[in-house]
Amino acid sequence: DGGITQSPKYLFRKEGQNVTLSCEQNLNHDAMYWYRQDPGQGLRLIYYSQIVNDFQKGDIAEGYSVSREKKESFPLTVTSAQKNPTAFYLCASSGWQGGGETQYFGPGTRLLVL
C-alpha cells in the first residue's frame, strides 16, 4: 500500500536534548513538508523540500532542522533551541491526482517535553 509513515507515534524530549522525527513515503512524490499543530489550531509550515538535497524554511523554522538525502525520507530534528516543542507534528507529501495537486498526510507524531 502506498502511503506516508511517521515514527514514533509519541516522543518525549528532555530539556537540552535534540530529537528526530521520522517521515517516509512510498508515493514517489518529489515534494515533502513538515507542519506543526498546536491544540485547537490549524497547521503551520516548518520546512519543505521540493526535491532531493534541497529544502526551504517555512513560517516557523526556528529551532528545527531537516535533511533530504533520499526522495522517500524527510526527517525533522527538533533542537534544544526550540523552547516550546510540545505539539503534534505532521509530515506530508504532494503529488498530482485527478488533474490537480494534493497533499497527503502521515499519521503524526506527538512530542512532549519531560
Binding residues for another protein, rule: CB under 8 A, are: 31, 33, 35, 40-45, 48, 50, 56, 58, 88, 90, 92, 94, 98-105, 107-108, 110
Question: Based on CB atoms, which residue is closest to another protein, 19 or 89?
Answer: 89
Integer Cα distance of 43 and 67 in angstroms: 21
Q: How many CA atoms does the CB half-sphere of 14 hold within 13 Å? A: 1
Which CB, 37 or 80, lies closer to another protein? 37
Closest CA to 111 of 45, 37, 40: 37
The nearer residue to another protein, 2 or 107, going by C-beta atoms, is 107
Q: Which of 55, 20, 60, 45 is CA-nearest to residue 105? A: 45
Cβ at position 86, least distance to another protein in Å: 15
The span from the CA of 76 to the CA of 6, in Å, is 11
Within a 10 A sphere around the Cβ of 40, how many other Cβ atoms? 5
In angstroms, what is the minimal distance from the CB of 43 to another protein?
5
Minimum distance from residue 26 beta carbon to another protein (Å): 17
Residue (71 or 110) nearer to another protein, CB: 110
**Cβ contact 106:21 at 8 Å:** no
Shortest Cβ 30–another protein spacing (Å): 10
